[in-house]
Structures are given as C-alpha cells and as structure tokens.
Structure 1
C-alpha cells in the first residue's frame, strides 16, 4: 500500500498515466485524467484493474498491484504507441532543383499526391523521382502559400511547409484514408 504521504504527487500521476494508457486497450477500466491526486476515481480504477487481473480488489496499490500495472502498461504500449518518426529530408542545406532526379522526390511526390485529395491547388504528381512538371508547380504553389520566395527549388523551408501540411491534413486527420 502507498503510504499516506504519497497520496499526492508524481507516483500517483505515474500510476494514473499508466492506468489511463491501459484503459485504451482494456476498455472496462475507467479512463483517468492524471492529476497526481489519489481520490475515489483513481481508487475505482485500481479496483477495476485488480479485478481484471485477478489481484485482491482492495483499491490500494501494494507492490503486487504496482508491478502488475507496470507489466500491463509496457505490454499496452506495444499496441497503443505511435510509430517513431522518420527523418526524411537529408540535411538543412540539401536542395532539389527543378529538373533534378533524386530518391527523395518519391517521398515528396507521394506527400503531394496525398494532399491533392484534400487541398485545392495541389495537382496530382507522377511519383517518379523527377522534380519536373507538376512537381515543380506544386513546389511553387506551396512556396506561394507559405510566403516563401517562389523558386521551385525544394529546400528545407519548403520541406518544412510540406511536412506541416501533411501532418495537419493527412497524419492527424483520422477521416482521411
């Protein structure tokens, strides 16, 4: 059991955070808002967890309960964690000039292709690794909308705009498939 002096603070917030994450997989558990205070809602979540995992349903967090929460939390993260980010753009000084062919354009063109379904003004590019035609037009469109100099050159600032649009309209939008 947690001592009385620990009923407020980071250990409680950690417990609540783990129980909250677990509740995304085990939906019978109450979904807590971690606030660092062990009150009735947290006690109910602990009792539910203990019942679900065949522990004595006391509502107190002894070593066995804490250890079980940690184990289930780590298992849950394997299901609920988002994939790690991938650094796609090679370097701050890297550029792709109109007419260049590079493997990095495949990613850029694919992102533009996805965005063309949700944003007016972006044309559907051919994904061929060449920065020509529609790819250059899309870079110019992006630079114009972002207040950048319209060069058609894909540089770090243009990449940043594309990445932010992609995250906003594609990655973070569950309605887009």
Structure 2
C-alpha cells in the first residue's frame, strides 16, 4: 500500500512556486502578482502561463521539471536584483581613532559625507576627498562633536562616527536637497 501524501506536503511545492512567481512579478511586470495560498488556483495557472509565454516556452500551464527549472532560474535572478546592497562598515566602535593630520582610507568617504552634508547644513565645510584628516575635516568633526555634546577633539572616534552617520542618514539620505540653517 502506497502512503498518501499529507495535504501540507502537497501545498509545499505550490507555495514555493507561488513565492517564486510573486518575486519574479516584482521585476517582470508582465507576470501577474500572486498571493501564495498553497493551492494551484486560476491565478497561479495564469501566472504560470504568462511566465511560459514571456519566456518563449510552450504555453501549457503545466509545471514540469523544465518549467520549474526556468521559473527557479528567473526567481534567483529576480531575488538578486531585489536584494539591497550590503552595507559596508567604514569605521567601527573598536577601531583606533584617527587624529588630525593622519591618513586613512575611510576618510575619503567621511569627506564625501561632509560634502553632501555641506549642501544641506550651512555650517558644514565641503571637503575634498584626500584621505587625510585635514584642517577642514577636523573643523567639521569638531562641529559634529559640539552638536552631539561630545568632547570637541577633531578626532574621528566611534562616538563621532556614529553621530556623523546619523546626521548623514537624516539630512542626506532621507530629506530632499534643501538648505537647512543652524544645528543638527
């Protein structure tokens, strides 16, 4: 006697198919958006047939191994396109502080952040990306430290970095480009 598969087992592959087609639909608008139900319904059939048509496959509505593989490949490509870029840690809390006059690769990015902040905050000095903690960059760090109630050393340390990142995220990545006077 052959065991009968449980209903959960039968829904598993259909839910996976629906999730893959749903992800593909975010990249390829021709594919109908699905809400995974685990049931191979008319919406799922329409999405499969649309996928087959768009990808030059015979339009049968049947998900055989070749169609499954094609959907899986398209899903992997769509998921890769939809995945946000990985963040990069330029300066961590445990990193050695960078003192005025020192050269460090992460300062190029810090100076770029200052240039962007200078477009929206009047008191920030736009700095060239030299990789050296120069006079203007040091003045900007002191400005950040003053407004964060940190010791105004002009040294890039973990607390100053965290404050700078918050300022950048608040005034550059989350607001329209406009001039804002005063403090952060």
Provide TM-score, normalisation by structure 2: 0.67
Closer/same/farther in 2, CA of residues 123 and 25 from structure 1, 3 Å limit: same
Equivalences for residues 21-32 of structure 1 within 5 A:
21-32=23-34
Equivalences for residues 1-177 of structure 1 within 5 A:
5-6=8-9, 12=15, 14-32=16-34, 37-38=38-39, 41-53=43-55, 54-58=57-61, 61-77=63-79, 79-89=81-91, 92-167=94-169, 170=172
CA distance in 2, matches of 1:42, 1:165: 46
CA distance in 1, matches of 2:142, 2:37: 50
CA distance in 2, matches of 1:123, 1:146: 17
Closer/same/farther in 2, CA of residues 117 and 43 from structure 1, 3 Å limit: farther
- Calculate the aligned-residue CA RMSD, in Å: 3.5
Q: Deviations over 1:85-114 (max 9, x none)?
A: 333227723211223233321121112212
Give yes or no for contact 2:93–2:157 (8 Å, CA) kept in 1. no
Unaligned runs of 5+ in 1: none
CA distance in 1, matches of 2:160, 2:112: 15
The count of corresponding residues between Structure 1 and Structure 2 is 170
Provide TM-score, normalisation by structure 1: 0.69
CA distance in 2, matches of 1:16, 1:148: 52
Q: Secondary structure of the equivalent of 1:118?
A: coil
**Greater Rg by CA:** 2
